[in-house]
Structure 1
Amino acid sequence: MRRVLLTITTTLSPATDLGFLLHKHPDRVQVFEQSFGTAHVFYPDASEGLCTAALLLDVDAVRLARTKGKSTPDFTLGQYVNDRPYAASSLLASAMAGVFRTAMRGRCDARPHLASAPIPLRLELPALPCRGGPEAARRLFEPLGWTVDARPVPLDERFADWGDSRYVALTLTGDVRLADALNHLYVLLPVLDDAKHYWIAPDEVDKLIRAGDGWLAAHPERAHVTRRYLANRRGLVRTALSRLAVADDGPEDGLERDPIDEEPPAPESTPPESVPEGTPPEPTPPEPTPPDPAVSEPAVPGATVSGPAVPEPGSPEAEPGSEPEPGTEAAAPPVPLAERRAQAVVEVLHAERAQSVIDLGCGTGKLLTRLLRDRSFQRIAGTDVSHRAMTIAARRLRPAPGDLAPRLELFQGALTYTDERFRGYDAAVLMEVVEHVDPPRLPAVERVVFGDARPRVVIVTTPNREHNVRYEGLGAGAMRHPDHRFEWTRAEFRDWAGRAAAAYGYQVRHVAVGEDDPEVGPPTQMGVFTR
């Protein structure tokens, strides 16, 4: 049996409010069974002036070996013995995800003002495997506002000439929001350890993005952190860096431009990261639906959103710009702009006699649903950089009973990298996608779509910035959604489309989608590229 120790100390007044923030009562010792051992939470000190919470993890070597899948690392004797009885590792991060999951999400109904504000904290890890030594710990934690005290642990204090071990005694102090502090540890412990003790599945990307929300995208070592956290699984690393680049409005970094690796299936036994059966569950807010690039309309004024809005089809707020003209009576409810846009895409596909179509940036699959209903499209594919979006699309678009030859293929991919799976289609659709791409990466998208995939027809739709003045609540210079990297005027879109078409041997024609306002043009502009 080996043990892992983490202590969290605060001097806020009253300090015992730490119990509310962690959702663990200072007067009790609580026990949480893990697949690889047992976690204990207790408070060595709990007074008005100082409060310390301790997470002690007993790692059961036999249980750890039994839960090891065929593709998880083989630690051999490392599973059973360790030269440091209190060594923090990725197992501690895994335990934190279950024991402190509500605190890591920043929820505290009893003390909401404390959950949302920085508080004085001291985090201590008496023995942390640290590849790169104390300097590596400083390089990762100091940009996050921590004062870092990382001291090498000697191999043996009795024999100084033996030198230092690969462990450090780490103390972090600073005024930091507790949820942020826990998420910093959750991500960076396995990075410093550089040996995840459990299976790296595709959902680890979502865990990384969720835990790194608000800090990882801007971290100067984000590529290094991402690679180590995901154990250098190239496909997963590329996906994570692409999503972080979108959050930071900067270029992707840290990867060579190779095709995305094929990910093997998950093992039958994966160590869970949740509170064990028998422990009263803590309420968990639903996860947000990932952005769907097929919807690019203004967000509701005053609302806080993290991705493109996905309103219910047909709802009044679903599509600005689709209301009838003042003074006229609508014979039927207005057709949402998203519906008009999808219909316009399908009409062009029919006019171009496309029988095979790939939706590049398909989001959760709304256009794909329409294409599947149309039997004239014999082969359909959808791809998106978001693993979660693809999961939702797969659930939405599962083959109908009796469909012996499914026409749909779904796969994860990024438009900034060449991918042979993009090739071989009559038509490619980028519906409300390009405005989510950082301008410096647009040439890469052009090369991938027009130069490498090279379908006979490419359909691109994007918002018309000039039309934004017709939307109530959009101020001067505002874009329809905060995730848009830009929005083009009609002249800017024509200029880009003309240059891309000429560079890759296409002709382009322009189609108005939605009501074509005589002063500011339509709400959506479409370019149809033909080769």
Structure 2
Amino acid sequence: MFVTLTTTHEPATDLGFLLHKHPDRAQSFDVAAGTAHVFYPVAEPSECTAALLLDVDPVGLVRGRRDDSFSLGQYVNDRPYTANSLLAVALGTVFRTALNGRCDARPELAATAIPLRVRVPALPCRGGRELVTRLFEPLGWQVEADPVPLDPRIPEWGDSRYVDLRLSGQLRVSEALSHLYVLLPVLDNAKHYWVTEEEIDKLLRAGDGWLAAHPERELISNRYLAHRKSYVRSALTQLAESDDTDADELDNALAPAVADNPEPLAVQRRGSVLAALRAAGARRVLDLGCGSGALLGDLAREPSFTEIVGADVSARALEVAARNLDRLPAAKRERVTLRQSALTYHDPALAGYDAAVLMEVIEHVEPDRLPALERAVFGSAHPGSVVVTTPNVEYNVLFEKLPAGAFRHPDHRFEWTRQQFREWAEGVAARNGYRVRLLPVGPEDPGAGAPTQLAVFTAEEVR
């Protein structure tokens, strides 16, 4: 297996700093599949190319493994042919520091998007050019994927399942490596090792910042996790819940309480919020505490929402949201504005909107700061409608992996019962000139209710 990474960023030889591999040296590394060789076919100030050549050792792959199915079972197997998986592991091993976005010598360079080209001249792909485009194009790549014929001398034999992949785009090197690390085995739909629950964490870490917003996240999760249904369901739930959260701080409730629920709770939650906004006739919408922008993307895809503002106190969250929104078509992206703003302080720029959303936000605020949030949102901004969602703590007993008494997320300051939420919502409405109605979100349990509770506030008079 062979992959190249090229840049024309000047000086292009800075690629050596980013990959932690000197352009003047050819290096070899022992990896699980054999030997990985790193060298630079081109290393000029105007253009630099780093190449990774993986020399697979099929005997080494199975050495020490026992297979009693037949006498040569240890050596006659398909492991050497799961080439994409082998290459992904080699990339993750040889370029681990670059994959993590670290460059101590040039940290500003590691954080900069630079012109990049990637080529894999013989890439196994179960899905062809169309699948390659669906996976890489939403991430900001321009994609070329030409089928490789079975035998150029015999055209009637047709094409093989290999493509000559060429990607080009303006990205950070760490982003490019994370895309390859996750998507190479997805294209081949095969792993050369047994998939365990640890693969969920690997997928979430490598996909942090882009996978949650990817339109093919379900297909990616299915293939990466070898179609293990429980693992896929857990990964999708965590992705949906990670809108403003680092991968190592994801929701503790790893799986939905109802095993046959076909849609992650966070997807249902966003759908309920959108329905409430449509019912209110909102056109100019605030997403307060927008995180990495999952709801912003949904809002931007609907033409009825003509002006959308995402506000968050976290600059990092806004950076991630901006990258995710940049994957949308320009006509959709231009309707969205991002603003750094604390929701417990008066911000004149947030006044006068049709509706505001606080989706899974209030439980991250200290209880003694809730009156300040109320004054800023319901008092100063005073939108025509406000949609609030928050966990129902009574439902937590139905999450099998959530320890008794624990919150769903380590940053939650509280989680309310249905009665507590009702009392807060009715008090806010009475004090600020709103009517309120409460709705369940997600599968309802006869005793515990629904996992998420939603309140829709409607202003008696818009100021």
Task: Find the counterpart in structure 2 of residue 16 from structure 1.
Answer: 13
1:428-457: CA deviations, max 9, x gaps? 757466998xxxxxxxxxxxxxxxxxxxxx
Q: Choose which of 110, 113, 122 in structure 2 pairs with 1:127.
A: 122
Tell me what 2:112 maps to.
117
The normalised TM-score by structure 2 is 0.57
Which residue number in structure 1 is paired with residue 56 of structure 2?
Answer: 59
Query: Is the CA contact 2:148–2:163 (under 8 Å) kept in the aligned structure 1?
Result: yes
Pairwise CA distance, 1:65:
2.0
Task: Tell whether 2:66 aligns with 1:37.
Answer: no
Partner of 2:378: none
Whole-angstrom distance in 2 between the partners of 1:51 and 1:218? 31
Q: Counterpart in 1 of 2:233?
A: 238
| Equivalent-residue separation in structure 2 for 1:218 and 1:147 (angstroms) | 18
Aligned residues: 306
Q: Which residue of 1 aligns with 2:212?
A: 217
Q: Deviations over 1:128-180 (max 9, x none)?
A: 11001111111111111111110111111111111110100101011111111
* Distance in 2, Cα, partners of 1:499 & 1:60: 52
The answer on 1:153 being equivalent to 2:148 is yes
Question: 1:5·1:88 contact (CA, 8 Å) conserved in 2?
Answer: no
Match for residue 96 of structure 1? 91
- Give yes or no for contact 1:431–1:462 (8 Å, CA) kept in 2: no
Secondary structure of 1:40 counterpart: strand
Separation in structure 1 between the aligned mates of residue 29 and residue 111 of structure 2, nearest angstrom: 26
Q: Which residue, 46, 49, 54 being the options, matches 2:46? A: 49
CA contact (8 A) 1:359 1:383 kept: no
* SS of residue paired to 1:128: strand
Q: Which amino acid aligns with 2:47?
A: L
TM-score (norm 1): 0.50
Q: Are the aligned partners of 2:16 and 2:22 in contact in 1 as well (CA < 8 Å)?
A: yes
Residues 145 and 208 of structure 1, relative CA distance in 2, 3 Å threshold: same
Alignment gaps of 5+ in structure 1: 250-254, 261-299, 307-317, 324-348, 350-356, 362-381, 385-409, 411-427, 437-458, 468-486, 508-531
In 2: Cα distance, 1:499 partner to 1:175 partner: 40
* TM-aligned CA deviation for residue 107 of structure 1: 1.1
8 Å contact kept, 2:79–2:192: no
Q: Which residue type is aligned with residue 193 of structure 2?
A: Y
Find the aligned partners of 2:85 and 2:188 in 1 and give their Cα distance.
7
Which residue number in structure 2 is paired with residue 193 of structure 1? 188
Q: Say what the alpha-carbon RMSD is for the aligned residues.
A: 4.4
The alpha-carbon distance between structure 1 residues 235 and 506, as it changes in their structure 2 partners (threshold 3 A), is closer
Instruction: Note the C-alpha offset of 1:201.
Output: 1.5
Cα gap change, 1:74 to 1:302, in 2 (>3 Å) = same
- Separation in 1, partners of 2:420, 2:448: 22
Separation in 2, partners of 1:63, 1:173:
35
Q: CA deviation at 1:35?
A: 2.3
Structure 1 residues 68 and 96: CA distance shift in structure 2, 3 A: farther
Q: Where does 1:63-78 land on structure 2 (aligned, <5 Å)?
A: 63-66=60-63, 76-78=76-78
CA, structure 1 residues 150+465, in 2 after alignment: closer, same or farther (shift >3 Å)?
Answer: same
- Separation in 1, partners of 2:144, 2:117: 11
Contact 1:155 1:164 in 2 (8 A): yes
Contact kept? 1:227, 1:237, Cα under 8 Å: yes
Are 2:439 and 1:504 aligned?
Answer: no
Match of 2:221 in 1: 226
Q: In the alignment, which of 383, 407, 426 is matched to residue 401 of structure 2?
A: 383
Task: Using the TM superposition, give the Cα deviation of residue 504 of structure 1 relative to its aligned residue in structure 2, in angstroms.
Answer: 2.9
Q: Residue 173 of structure 2 aligns to which amino acid in structure 1?
A: L
Kept in 1: contact 2:179–2:207 (CA 8 A): yes
Distance 1:462 1:206, change over 3 A: farther
Give CA deviations for 1:362-383 in whole Å, capped at 9, x if unaligned.
xxxxxxxxxxxxxxxxxxxx72
Q: Report 1:286-365 matches (<5 A).
A: none
Q: Distance in 1 between matches of 2:89 and 2:368?
A: 48
- Say whether the 8 Å CA contact 2:5–2:119 is kept in structure 1: yes
Deviations 1:17-43 (A, max 9, x none): 000000111111111111220111111
Deviations 1:66-118 (A, max 9, x none): 265879x99945446x6xxxx95110101111111110111112222221121
> Identity percentage over the alignment?
51
Task: Return the alpha-carbon distance in structure 2 between the equivalents of residues 35 and 219 of structure 1.
Answer: 30
Q: Distance in 2 between matches of 1:11 and 1:488?
A: 56
- Sort the Cα spacing of 1:167 and 1:42 in 2 relative to 1 into closer, same or farther, 3 A: same
Cα distance change of structure 1 residues 434 and 466 upon mapping to structure 2, 3 Å threshold: farther
1:48 to partner: Cα distance? 0.5
Contact 1:464 / 1:490 at 8 angstroms: preserved in 2? no
List per-residue Cα deviations over 1:285-335 (Å, max 9, x = no partner). xxxxxxxxxxxxxxx9768589xxxxxxxxxxx995689xxxxxxxxxxxx
Give 2:23's aligned residue. 26
Mark the CA change 1:301 to 1:40 in structure 2 (over 3 Å): closer, same or farther: same
1:44 Cα deviation after fit: 0.8
Task: Sort the Cα spacing of 1:433 and 1:6 in 2 relative to 1 into closer, same or farther, 3 A.
Answer: closer
Greater helix percent: which structure? 2
| C-alpha separation in 2, matches of 1:503 and 1:239 | 20
The amino acid of 2:58's aligned partner reads A
Say yes or no: does 1:172 pair with 2:114.
no
Aligned-pair CA distance for 1:505 = 5.9
CA contact (8 A) 1:11 1:49 kept: yes
Q: Deviations over 1:34-58 (max 9, x none)?
A: 1220111111110101100011111
CA distance in 2, matches of 1:244, 1:75: 38
Contact 2:137/2:143 (8 A) holds in 1 = yes
Match of 2:267 in 1: none
Name the amino acid aligned to 1:223.
Answer: E
**Equivalent pair of 1:131/1:193 in contact (CA under 8 Å):** yes
Measure the CA separation in 2 of the matches of 1:243 and 1:111: 33
Q: For the residues of structure 2 that align with 1:246 and 1:158, how far apart are their CA atoms?
A: 52
**Residue 137 to residue 490, structure 1, CA distance change in 2 (3 Å):** same
Provide closer, same or farther for how the CA distance between residues 106 and 79 of structure 1 changes in structure 2, counting only shifts above 3 A. Answer: closer
Q: Which amino acid aligns with 2:205?
A: R
1:242 shift after superposition: 0.2
Asked if the contact 1:69/1:199 (under 8 Å) is kept, the reply is no
